[in-house]
Structure 1
């Protein structure tokens, strides 16, 4: 993996970020959060994550984004409570009619054409959990990953998408337990409830996430992007309209050069033969989308 080096035609360089370390390799952007001492989501960290999301959404060289931390105990602790105490409260509360601020950032990670993966090697809470839930996949470490929504005990509620994301992941009753109880959710339970895709032994977490990111980045980018768009439609549309959207996106991909080339390679490599089908996960990883 090679560290990103500034390019004259690149609007983002490492110097743009004080709290993020960004490495790009083979279509994957690895973003390591480094905000000591415990990776609290300060306004500065929020702005950097938002800035990065806006840049990478338009970067055709990146197909997969991996968010991670090297801190042994924390991915992102939660949003900065001192900063929340300074939020303006003059006048009555107003209902928004568009996504702004933290919601807009989370929606960008959810809807961008890149695959977004979160490697949660330690604690994640509050706004860090809300960002994680907005991404496409979450992986954790047994004995290390802990999920917490600590807002209700301190007099507020998860206001960065948490009350909407968590019930969709784990169900209403379990979301109520986490949000209203302010409990710690261990990695195994988080996996069983659907918050985590998988809970892995701690020493296997990073290799697994890295391999998965590289694997997805090798696949036809239009297929990855439109498949993500189709899956997102399941959250946004009734089944009937969602099926229409799926059929439309499938038809779009059928008209791409890469689809025909990849399907032809699939057959040439042994697809639709007994031996090929018995190793299909390995076989499809051998398909080249170069050129």
Structure 2
């Protein structure tokens, strides 16, 4: 069953709705489907703008599937090309049409990285942001260490990435992580009006203006390659594997556990046994 639905308005606005109950976990299958969708829309000249939404107001995307990460190869060569996840995120950042994430509910890990790769982010007051990876013995390896310092600054990025705690929508707005926080009953109307307005302008001018802004972001690809190498290097560590397994044991990837992800990360730090010397 498809987890990614796409509708294209007469205006050329493509709305991508992610629906993978119960928590919109980004499994490998969901990632493949979403990456294919992003690539297809980027190459469709009839599409003038892309909006990402969730079918579940409690979760935008929880995070990438930890069980899948446990199955990743633990020995990999130093990357010389961007991996598939980085390519998808870069496509959102660089395609010649605006990309907007409409965030309702929780977004973490890989889902947060997808949202941060979009040109604009709008959230509801109950949205919650997190990058829980360090508590699991890894790091945000899907562009989080590259996007967040550029969005919110070094100190705040390190608070998010190293603290592994929940960040409320109002704080995210104050930090510049999201453009605006809007009431739940107003966010869709606001995003629809904004994206329709942009789509009504000459597409060559929209593309040229976005490209000019994107050019101001230097060093992204090199930084992503280094992030990928650093992420790969964590995978074989026994403490990493123990932390990820413990995360699943104490409620990770269940609705109840994910609703308190920041607290879960703190518990993980207290309960994960250290690897033997």
TM-score, length basis structure 2? 0.77
Matches within 5 A, 1:71-220: 71-90=56-75, 93-142=76-125, 144-220=126-202
Q: CA deviation digits over 1:247-288, x for unaligned, max 9?
A: xxxxxxxxxxxxxxxxxxxxxxxxxxxxxxxxxxxxxxxxxx
Supply the distance in 2 between the matched residues of 1:110 and 1:42 (Cα, whole angstroms): 22
Give a deviation string over 1:85-144, Cα, whole Å, max 9, x none: 000113xx53212212101111111111111000001100000000111110000001x1
1:236 — aligned with what? 218
Give matches, 1:202-281, under 5 Å.
Answer: 202-236=184-218
- Aligned structure 1 segments of 4 or more residues deviating by more than 3 angstroms: none
Q: Aligned runs of 1:9-28 on 2, under 5 Å?
A: 18-25=2-9, 26-28=11-13
Counterpart Cα distance in 1 of 2:42 and 2:188: 24
- Give the count of matched residue pairs: 218
Equivalent-residue separation in structure 1 for 2:63 and 2:148 (angstroms): 15
Give the structure with higher Rg (CA): 1
Specify every segment of 5 or more residues in structure 2 that has no aligned partner in the other structure, as ranges.
220-277
Please report the RMSD computed on the Cα atoms of aligned residues, expressed in angstroms: 1.1
Map of 1:14 onto structure 2: none
Local SS of the residue matching 2:195: helix
3-state SS, counterpart of residue 202 of structure 1:
coil
Partner SS state of residue 236, structure 1: coil
Higher RCO (CA < 8 A, seq sep 6+): 2
User: Over residues 60-94 of structure 1, what are the superposed CA-to-partner deviations in whole Å (9 max), with x where a residue is unaligned?
Assistant: 1101000001212100000000000000113xx53
The aligned residue for residue 259 of structure 1 is none
